[in-house]
Structure 1
Amino acid sequence: MNNDKGGFAMDIKCIALDLDKTTLNRQGKLSKGNREALISAMKKDVHIVIASGRAFSTLPKDVTSLPGIEYAITSNGAAIYHIPTGTCMHRYHLTPASVNDILTVCKSYPVVFEAFIDGTAYGEKHYIENPVFYGTPPNVISYVQQTRNPINHMPDFIRQHANCLDSIDVVTGDIRIKQKIQTELARISNDIYITSSVPRLLEISHKDSGKHSGLKYIQNHLHLKPEQTAAFGDGDNDIDLLLAAGTGIAMENASPSCKTAADAITKHHDEDGVAWGMRHILHII
């Protein structure tokens, strides 16, 4: 597999990695092949940066504990962390006005919420107890139940924390409802960034966030040019990330829109696609 849009002459110093269905395998784990590839890249002074829709506290330990991984773009770019110290380096909070817009629009639909605050994830209690009812795939159930703090009435909880929300996920379980909510929010609010990593979710954060915004922050922090960075992803929420990198690489299992945005396609996430891309597309290991 290659499927690139031309040859690459690169001096890659930083690689941003989406996690789920990109760096992690079907079991949500870092495979031996990808782990060895990350270590090899870091030995060559390449910065490895996590770029995830997850909250900081829910990032998998087999990735964050890997020596040399310093930075994490979390909550779709709403918060950027220095991993060794757990320090938040940069953050965008949703505005209270946009939080009110989200709750007002969603009130008319049978949805539930997740909320990310200071790197911690919260979710509606009955959703956490039965995530399959809302369209959560079986292989994601344990992740949801182990990483979300249960709240009995999420709209009230969200209102009480309207000044400190990194992001809000709207769990729809229905693509038609998702599209209606997204259209209404785009019409009435200019303060939000809306994206989606999986069909059942709308992921909403401040207008200036996004994984691409996080990568630009890291580029500036490390004094790197965009062409010195690469990024791997699979979802629609990775499109802006791939476009912000000098070389954007989509997984074989990526969404059609993500593949269209990419400069090259690597192997499936269950076939160590990140390692394959580092070796055969970026030529850094």
Structure 2
Amino acid sequence: MIKHIFSDMDGTLLQSNGKISANNIEIIKKSKIPFTLVSARSPKEMFEVIDLLALSEPQIAFNGGLIFQLQDGKVKALKEDTIVNDSVARIVELCKKEFPSVSCSFYGQDTWYIDRMDSGIEMEKRIGGQTPKMVDFVTLLKQAATKIYKIMFITMDLQKMKPLIARLKELGENVSINQSGQRYLEITSQNAEKSEGIGYIKKLENLDKEEMAAFGDGFNDVSMLKSVGVPIVMDNALEGVHNYGKYITKDNDHDGVGHGIQKYLI
């Protein structure tokens, strides 16, 4: 019996327009199975879906970098793992020197930082709904109080993704590097994996692996899929991710999560 469902958001629970369908909402609520969003998004970018699904369980942001609960509309951090500011500075410097056309930004708990507006930022602003704050990266990262949970790269030229990943790995920073979509590359603390977030909730709720299910579509979902007894992969998943699913459900524009819950979990 499944006692907890975990789901990625973009490319999985959400449609291509970044919204959750009425059908998915209805099925998730009717299932009455505790439901946790496990996303690369910031908490602020998750609020709308948390509200629409009336979720009270712990939620997982920044690919596991922040586990939190919403209490009276405010984020209560349960566990957090941030990136060392010096590492952020070196990663950003490499990108700007060697991949100047790639969009680069990063996130605090409730603030999205940019130092220029470009097509990648504009696209993410439309999808995520969060307004970025223009700052000087060098100055911000020198401040001891600055906490960075995620660095995000967006490339409109898909040919740049593989060499960007390769160069970041060569840099040797103590970080986790995950491609979450064709255009998106996200960097978090090495301790910030979706599996870490699931492990925290598994222990908190005294769950067995077989009592958990998960939905995902990207390589940043693989650790999550491997952590549960019933891993379900979206039909629209990136090439290679299907191998990690026990089941394949419909794509994200055809209520794949809702379909998977009805067909495989209840």
- Of 239, 242, 246, the residue aligned with 2:225 is 242
- More displaced stretch, 74-83 vs 95-104: 95-104
2:263 is equivalent to residue 280 of structure 1: yes
Partner Cα separation in structure 1 for residue 13 and residue 56 of structure 2: 14
Which residue does the alignment assign to 1:38? 28
Aligned-residue offset at 1:16: 0.4
The SS at the match of 2:92 is helix
Cα 1:192–1:62, aligned 2, differ >3 Å: closer, same or farther?
A: closer
Which residue does the alignment assign to 1:14? 4
Which residue does the alignment assign to 1:100? 89
Aligned-residue offset at 1:141: 5.4
2:99 is equivalent to residue 115 of structure 1: no
- The answer for unaligned runs of 5 or more in structure 2 is none
Match runs of 1:17-166 below 5 Å: 17-42=7-32, 46-85=33-72, 86-108=75-97, 109-110=99-100, 111-127=102-118, 131=119, 134=120, 142-143=126-127, 146-160=129-143, 163-166=146-149
Aligned-residue offset at 1:105: 2.0
Aligned-residue offset at 1:103: 2.4
Cα 1:119–1:214, aligned 2, differ >3 Å: closer, same or farther?
A: farther
Cα 1:228–1:213, aligned 2, differ >3 Å: closer, same or farther?
A: same
Match runs of 1:148-227 below 5 Å: 148-160=131-143, 163-227=146-210
Q: Structure 1 counterpart of 2:109, which letter?
A: D
Aligned-residue offset at 1:163: 4.8
CA RMSD of aligned residues (A): 2.3
Partner Cα separation in structure 1 for residue 225 and residue 164 of structure 2: 26
Partner Cα separation in structure 2 for residue 121 and residue 74 of structure 1: 14
Matched positions, count: 262
Cα 1:161–1:281, aligned 2, differ >3 Å: closer, same or farther?
A: farther
- Give CA-to-partner distance per residue, 1:247-280, whole Å, 9 cap, x none: 1101111112221111110112121111111111
- More displaced stretch, 109-118 vs 12-21: 109-118
Between the aligned residues of both structures, percent identity stands at 27
The SS at the match of 1:256 is coil
Question: Does the 8 A contact of 1:251 with 1:267 survive in 2?
Answer: yes
Partner Cα separation in structure 2 for residue 155 and residue 179 of structure 1: 27
Which residue does the alignment assign to 1:8? none
TM-score by length of 2: 0.89
Aligned-residue offset at 1:199: 2.2
- Give CA-to-partner distance per residue, 1:152-182, whole Å, 9 cap, x none: 5445434547851111112333334332232
Question: Does the 8 A contact of 1:136 with 1:200 survive in 2?
Answer: no
Cα 1:270–1:171, aligned 2, differ >3 Å: closer, same or farther?
A: closer
Aligned-residue offset at 1:61: 1.2
Partner Cα separation in structure 2 for residue 238 and residue 64 of structure 1: 23
Cα 1:69–1:271, aligned 2, differ >3 Å: closer, same or farther?
A: farther
- Give CA-to-partner distance per residue, 1:182-209, whole Å, 9 cap, x none: 2122223241000011222220010011
Question: Does the 8 A contact of 1:101 with 1:185 survive in 2?
Answer: no
- More displaced stretch, 56-65 vs 236-245: 56-65
TM-score by length of 1: 0.83
Aligned-residue offset at 1:135: 9.1
- Give CA-to-partner distance per residue, 1:216-238, whole Å, 9 cap, x none: 11111111122211100112221
- Give CA-to-partner distance per residue, 1:27-81, whole Å, 9 cap, x none: 3222221111111222xxx210001110001115143343244221101111011
Cα 1:68–1:185, aligned 2, differ >3 Å: closer, same or farther?
A: closer
- The answer for unaligned runs of 5 or more in structure 1 is 1-10
Q: Structure 2 counterpart of 1:151, which letter?
A: M
Partner Cα separation in structure 2 for residue 173 and residue 153 of structure 1: 23
